[in-house]
Structure 1
Amino acid sequence: MNMQPPSPFSPGSADTQVAFDRRELSVILSVYGRMVAAGEWRDYGISSLREMAVFSVFRRTAEHPLYRIEKRPKLRNRQGMYSVVAMDGQILKRGQDLKTVLRVLERKLIRAVNLD
């Protein structure tokens, strides 16, 4: 009988962390790249926590994030597991589909381009 403790990387482990998968990161980085090209964003950070994964975007490196793109799998069957949160904590958009949720940031890109 095998008496080894469960691996911290096993799917059933209580210490597993939520992370963005490759497809999700591709969608997020596509929006991020357009915002960088428009001069709106300059840096990002990714956090993988127990309850959620967070992609934070910054105008400058040493400040609070302008927006947080959050993935909370426990909310999948309620409001939706993806959300965009503003710097003041206000949830700008929440839903099941990441591309749809990120459209709230696309509108800001259109405004930034039209100001020139």
Structure 2
Amino acid sequence: MDIAVEDVTARWVRAWTTGRTTDLFKLLAAAPAIETNLDPDGDFIELLTDYAAAVESVTVFSQTVLDRRAALVYDCTLSGETFRLAEFLTVNDVGLVTEVRRVYDLNAIERLMPHLLLEH
């Protein structure tokens, strides 16, 4: 069974932006490779849901899919300011995310959400 990467990324975006941790766990492979520039040693799922709860809105600005990889750029808004988050996913042929790389705008987080730097 070959699951479309676009479908998996749509479910992934819906899950993390709405804080549905159960859905996130269902989408992650058993031992995913995870890289992030915000608390690389912290709990990844907790960080995703805390970030989503802290911002006012998240929309996908751009999505590119090539083979089993997806690159997403999000527009995030808080206190009238829009800033970006980049995410790179690798999806296996059964529809599980095997690799996640996230690049947060640390300047925006330090300025608008400093609690995320302290909590994690």
* Bigger helix fraction: 2
- TM-score of Structure 1 vs Structure 2, range by shorter chain: 0.3 to 0.5
Larger Rg: 1
TM-score, length-scaled by structure 2: 0.36
* Bigger strand fraction: 2
TM-score, length-scaled by structure 1: 0.36
Structure with bigger RCO (C-alpha 8 Å, 6+ apart):
2
